[in-house]
Amino acid sequence: MIRIRGLTKYFGTHLVLDRVDLDVERHEVVCLIGASGSGKSTLLRCINRLIEPDYGEIALDGVSVSDASFGKTGLQRRVGIVFQSYNLFPHMRVIDNVTLAPRKVQRLARAAAEARALEVLALLGMESFAYAYPEQLSGGQQQRVALARALAGQPDVLLLDEVTAALDPELVGEVMAAIRGLKARGLTMVIVTHEMGFARGLADRVCFLDGGRIIEEAPPEQLFAAPEHPRTQAFLHRLLEAGRL
């Protein structure tokens, strides 16, 4: 479904992605792990063109993401993204946050947009908060609304960039459970995470980035139990020492 070849990105003279190749199949969940600065977020953000790469190709179902047939809004509807900072509009109720893009971008009528919003909020266990304001919700609940907002566009792929990083530890579990529910429904996802438990429990495949390259990829049970590359071994060893594995 997603095919990435030779993706290369510089920030100034700093090579941040170095000829990355990656395939993601429909219904697959791929987690990107690696040390801070290894290029995970940059790779993720190239997929929906929040960042433009310098070289390389990304195709979605065989069509280049820079093809004019997508247009930028078309691409960003097909490829949803959720960040660490959920960025809900504080002056708008949950339901208005979730219906905003479908109404303004997809030109859906209010009733249809609200029906869709209630459906995705229910999927994330948030339907009873539809008429609340963001400030009335916990961080975990706000992040679930941010997930609902991304899903309301009915994306084919969801990109998650450290979505649990800003949450208090006791709130991480509810967001992870919500994402597990999305996987069970067959949503294709590419996930950047520092939570190895998350990658282990959720991913079909884990990619380890180091210095802007994917240097090892494997199903989690294999990558965590028997990493092959010395750099992956060293990274996992450091996490183990820090009590984060």
Ligand X SMILES: Nc1ncnc2c1ncn2[C@@H]1O[C@H](COP(=O)(O)OP(=O)(O)OP(=O)(O)O)[C@@H](O)[C@H]1O
Which residues of the shown chain bind ligand X in the complex (CB under 6 A)? 11, 16, 34, 36-42
Query: Cα angle vertex 60, ends 56, 64, to 5°?
Result: 45
Q: Encoding tokens for residue 159? A: 């990109």
Identify which of residues 36 and 69 has a Cβ nearer to ligand X in the complex. 36
Distances (CA, A) of 128 to 16, 44, 84, 117: 43, 32, 23, 12
Coil, helix or strand at residue 160:
strand
Smallest separation (angstroms) from ligand X to the CB of 58: 15
Smallest separation (angstroms) from ligand X to the CB of 161: 8
Smallest separation (angstroms) from ligand X to the CB of 221: 23
Please give the single-letter amino acid code of residue 137: L
Identify which of residues 52 and 135 has a Cβ nearer to ligand X in the complex. 52
Give the burial class of 100: count Cβ atoms within 10 A of its Cβ; 0-12 exposed, 13-18 middle, 19 or more buried.
middle
Identify which of residues 40 and 144 has a Cβ nearer to ligand X in the complex. 40
Residues paired with 158 in a beta bridge: 80, 189
Identify which of residues 37 and 71 has a Cβ nearer to ligand X in the complex. 37
Smallest separation (angstroms) from ligand X to the CB of 238: 14
Contact 179, 202 (CB under 8 A): yes
Residue with token string 């948030």: 126
Identify which of residues 141 and 143 has a Cβ nearer to ligand X in the complex. 143
Return d(Cα 48, Cα 72) in angstroms, integer: 8
Smallest separation (angstroms) from ligand X to the CB of 231: 14
